[in-house]
């Protein structure tokens, strides 16, 4: 059963990836057709063709490896003049790119390179924007539809006694003192209204008051059975690792945790899904985009760390880059846990949202063959046209980006190498989220 759940989680992520890629290409396809560009193919995946059908002038199909997709637009670059041949060290690569580009041009009036700069940017931005929109929808469903897990002010359990911090036992003995919460008469199911005269809306607020009040008698107002009761809670002083404002452990110069004296009551809260404001999904998408951007900026160092972990067997950074296999593996592990079904679904859907943010950010890198590279070419073409207009000079010939093919090949090889490294790492030394 556990293996079936694991496979189910893996398939969920693969299908989600295929849908994300399909929508990414739709984001390119729709504006391209609206602007009159001839689109010869719309394909999901790479490798051998599994299925295809032609509607109108476009062939739609699916290929064997659902790890990407593409649309074939006519005239991505200006047609090569008759007799014009590429020169230089990489002339074969450049000439092959020019020949392939020329073959796509069926009607010279329906080509990409003749569009205005704005329309070209809209077409190339359409794919990444589609991934961003999909991520926002996913995160909005998660946060505003399902909710965010939060500790409520309702008590779920009350400790019977206070066990020493060094104790390995989970049961109370006659020598263990009664916990302050039990001594106060607090019961599971009670809802905390106020602590020490301060109204509380979250369990974190109640805990904060308790922690800063060791050995102080606090008036604890709770709701029980529709009635409000006032109890007296006296937290005991306990040594706990200190944390900063971000909830991170504070350490000394030697790296040892700093201990702090805090109040302890011995109560835990119920955790429930609390629906968030409708804009929370957009905020989460932005936070994910910033995090992915930071990974991209530091990608060489992170890839080096991944390679080092393969050699040393060291633990992988859980916030580092992953291949599709790595993401699918995590989804499978989540699906195979014994957590509630809703919890597992939320985590897997959140992974899919994060994957779409990664597609959004990564495709904006201004290097060919990525979408960002085509946007950079369009912007440069627009700058040249604007400069010619200011000088009242004839419009320049559109930028011939086939000259950038050698750089494109280098980038493509680097992407393949990165994918291969991450794939091997995710198979041999995967990121472990469950220890």
Tell me which of 2, 25, 272, 333 is the catalytic residue: 25
Which CB contacts under 8 angstroms, 24+ apart, belong to 77-86?
A: 77/101, 77/113, 77/398, 77/399, 77/400, 77/401, 77/402, 78/113, 78/397, 78/398, 78/399, 78/400, 79/105, 79/108, 79/111, 80/402, 86/402
Determine the Cα–Cα distance for residues 281 and 292; give it in Å rounded to an integer.
16
Q: Round the CA-based radius of gyration of the chain to a whole number and report it.
A: 29
Whether 256 contacts 242, CB under 8 Å: no
Between the alpha carbon of residue 386 and those of residues 41, 45, 47, the distances in Å are: 33, 38, 41
- Quote the tokens at residue 104: 């796509």
Say whether 287 is catalytic.
no
Of 70, 67, 138, 62, give the one whose Cα is nearest residue 357: 138
Residue 295: HSE in the Cβ half-sphere, 13 Å Cα cutoff: 20
Of 386, 370, 368, give the one whose Cα is nearest residue 117: 386
- Quote the tokens at residue 419: 């994918």
Q: Which residues of 9-22 are buried (b: 16+ CB within 10 A; e: fewer)?
A: bbebbbebbbebbb
Determine the Cα–Cα distance for residues 34 and 47; give it in Å rounded to an integer.
29
Contacts of residue 217, defined as CB under 8 A and 6 or more positions apart, other chains included, come to: 232, 233, 234
Q: Provide the 3-class DSSP secondary structure of residue 220.
A: strand
Whether 199 contacts 193, CB under 8 Å: yes
Whether 335 contacts 352, CB under 8 Å: no
Which residues are catalytically annotated? 25
């Amino acid at each position: 059963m556990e293996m079936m759940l694991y496979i189910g989680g893996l398939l969920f992520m693969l299908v989600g990836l295929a849908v994300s890629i399909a929508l990414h290409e739709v984001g390119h396809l729709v504006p391209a057709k609206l602007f009159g560009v001839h689109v010869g193919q719309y394909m999901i995946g790479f490798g051998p063709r599994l299925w295809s059908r032609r509607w109108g002038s476009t062939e739609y199909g699916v290929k064997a490896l659902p790890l990407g997709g593409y649309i074939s637009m006519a005239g991505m670059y200006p047609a090569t003049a008759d007799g014009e041949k590429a020169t230089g060290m990489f002339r074969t690569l450049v000439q092959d790119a020019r020949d392939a580009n020329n073959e796509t041009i069926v009607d010279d009036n329906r080509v990409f390179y003749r569009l205005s700069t704005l329309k070209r940017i809209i077409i190339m931005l359409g794919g990444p924007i589609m991934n961003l929109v999909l991520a926002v929808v996913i995160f909005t469903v998660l946060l505003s539809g399902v909710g965010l897990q939060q500790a409520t002010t309702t008590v779920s359990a009350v400790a019977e006694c206070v066990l020493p911090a060094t104790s390995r036992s989970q049961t109370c003995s006659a020598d263990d003192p009664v916990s302050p919460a039990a001594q106060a008469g607090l019961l599971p199911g009670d809802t905390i209204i106020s602590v020490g005269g301060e109204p509380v809306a979250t369990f974190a607020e109640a805990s904060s008051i308790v922690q800063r009040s060791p050995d102080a008698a606090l008036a604890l107002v709770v709701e029980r059975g529709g009635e409000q009761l006032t109890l007296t809670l006296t937290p005991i002083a306990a040594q706990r690792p200190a944390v900063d404002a971000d909830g991170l452990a504070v350490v000394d110069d030697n790296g040892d945790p700093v201990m702090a004296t805090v109040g302890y009551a011995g109560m835990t809260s119920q955790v429930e899904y609390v629906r968030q404001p409708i804009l929370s999904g957009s905020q989460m998408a932005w936070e994910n985009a910033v995090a992915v951007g930071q990974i991209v900026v530091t990608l060489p160092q992170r890839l080096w760390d991944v390679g080092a972990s393969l050699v040393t067997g060291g633990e992988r950074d859980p916030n580092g880059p992953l291949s599709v296999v790595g993401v699918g593996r995590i989804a499978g592990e989540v699906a195979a846990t014994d957590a509630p079904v809703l919890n597992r679904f939320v985590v897997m859907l959140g992974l899919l949202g994060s994957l779409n943010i990664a597609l959004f950010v990564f495709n904006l890198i201004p290097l060919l063959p990525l979408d960002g590279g085509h946007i950079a070419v369009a912007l440069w073409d627009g700058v040249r046209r604007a400069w010619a207009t200011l000088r009242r000079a004839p419009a320049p010939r559109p930028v011939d980006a086939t000259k950038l093919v050698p750089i494109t090949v280098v980038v493509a090889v680097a992407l393949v190498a990165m994918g291969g490294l991450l794939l091997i790492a995710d198979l041999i030394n995967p990121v472990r989220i469950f220890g």
